[in-house]
A and B are shown apart, each in its own frame.
Chain A
Amino acid sequence: RKEVEQDPGPFNVPEGATVAFNCTYSNSASQSFFWYRQDCRKEPKLLMSVYSSGNEDGRFTAQLNRASQYISLLIRDSKLSDSATYLCVVNMIDPRGSYIPTFGRGTSLIVHP
C-alpha cells in the first residue's frame, strides 16, 4: 500500500464546474499536510497548506480529517488555467524521527471550454 494515495484521474471538467480531489494517507502520526500544483514539465509549487479546521483560499478549499486520515481539495468555478496535476503531500515521520514530505502520485485535472 502506498503511503499517500490519490485517484490519478484525469478529471475532465468544463469551465465553471466544481471539482473535488481526495487523498488518503497511511501514517496516523503525520503532522503537516499540503496540496501542491505541478504544471507539465515544471516543478511542484505549493497551492495551500491543509489545517484540521479546514481552510479556504479564494476558489480553493482544503479539508483534513485526521480520524479517517483523509484530505480533500475542492475547486469552485474552474478556470482553464487550473488545468494541472494536483499533488497531495503529507509530512510523514520516518524511523529516524525525521519528517519527510511524502507525495501522492497526483490527480490530473483538465478544464475545457
Chain B
Amino acid sequence: GAGVSQSPSNKVTEKGKDVELRCDPISGHTALYWYRQSLGQGLEFLIYFQGNSAPDKSGLPSDRFSAERTGGSVSTLTIQRTQQEDSAVYLCASNLFENTEAFFGQGTRLTVV
C-alpha cells in the first residue's frame, strides 16, 4: 500500500481481555517498529523486527505483550490480560533500511475499561 496501515483504529476492551493489533508496513520495507504513546507522553519503543532476524523485544513492558511478523510483512501485537495502564495509542512504523527515516501508521487507540 501507499503507507503504513494499522487496524483497528480504535479498540475498547474490558480489563482482563486479550487484544490483537495489526500493522501492515509499506511494501518492501524491511524494518518494522512498534511504539506506545500514552496521553501527553513521548513515544515508548516496544519491539523491532528486521527482515527475518529474531526481533528485538527489549522494550516490551511485561510478558503480557508479544508480537510477531509473518513472512517479513504484516505484524501483530498481542496484549494478554489487558490492564487499565495499557490504555494508549499503539503506533507502528516501518523503514526501507535500518537507520533511515521511519514512516508511521495512524495508530490504534486502545482503551481498557
Interchain CB contact under 8 A, A44 and B56: no
Task: Tell me which residues across on chain A come within 8 A of B91, comparing CB atoms.
Answer: 43-44
Q: In the bound complex, what is the Cα–Cα distance between A100 and B43 (angstroms)?
A: 12
- Cβ of B80 within 8 Å of any chain A Cβ, yes or no, is no
Q: Give the most central of A31, A87, A96: most B CB within 10 Å.
A: A96
Interchain CB contact under 8 A, A98 and B50: yes
Interchain CB contact under 8 A, B42 and A31: no
B32 to chain A, nearest CB (A): 12
| Chain A, residue nearest B6 (CB) | A43
Q: In the bound complex, what is the Cα–Cα distance between A81 and B48 (angstroms)?
A: 33
Per the 8 Å Cβ criterion, residues 64-113 of B in contact with A are 91, 93, 98-107
Q: In the bound complex, what is the Cα–Cα distance between A87 and B41 (angstroms)?
A: 11
Q: In the bound complex, what is the Cα–Cα distance between A91 and B43 (angstroms)?
A: 14
A49 to chain B, nearest CB (A): 6
With contacts A32-B99, A106-B42 taken as known, whether A100 is within 8 angstroms of B105 at the C-beta atoms is no
Interface size on A, residues (CB 8 A): 24
Q: In the bound complex, what is the Cα–Cα distance between A111 and B43 (angstroms)?
A: 24
Which DSSP category, helix, strand, loop or mixed, fits chain A's interface?
strand
| Number of interchain pairs (Cβ within 8 Å) | 50
Task: Tell me which residues across on chain A come within 8 A of B50, comparing CB atoms.
Answer: 98
A37 to chain B, nearest CB (A): 11
B105 to chain A, nearest CB (A): 6
B34 to chain A, nearest CB (A): 11
Q: In the bound complex, what is the Cα–Cα distance between A103 and B103 (angstroms)?
A: 14
Interchain CB contact under 8 A, A100 and B45: yes
B48 to chain A, nearest CB (A): 6
Q: Give the most central of B58, B99, B105: most A CB within 10 Å.
A: B99
Contact of B99 among A31, A43, A96 (CB under 8 A): A31
With contacts A43-B105, A49-B101, A99-B99 taken as known, whether A94 is within 8 angstroms of B43 at the C-beta atoms is no
- Cβ of A101 within 8 Å of any chain B Cβ, yes or no, is yes
How would residues 43 to 69 of chain B score, 1 for a CB under 8 Å from any chain A CB and 0 otherwise?
Answer: 101001010000010100000000000
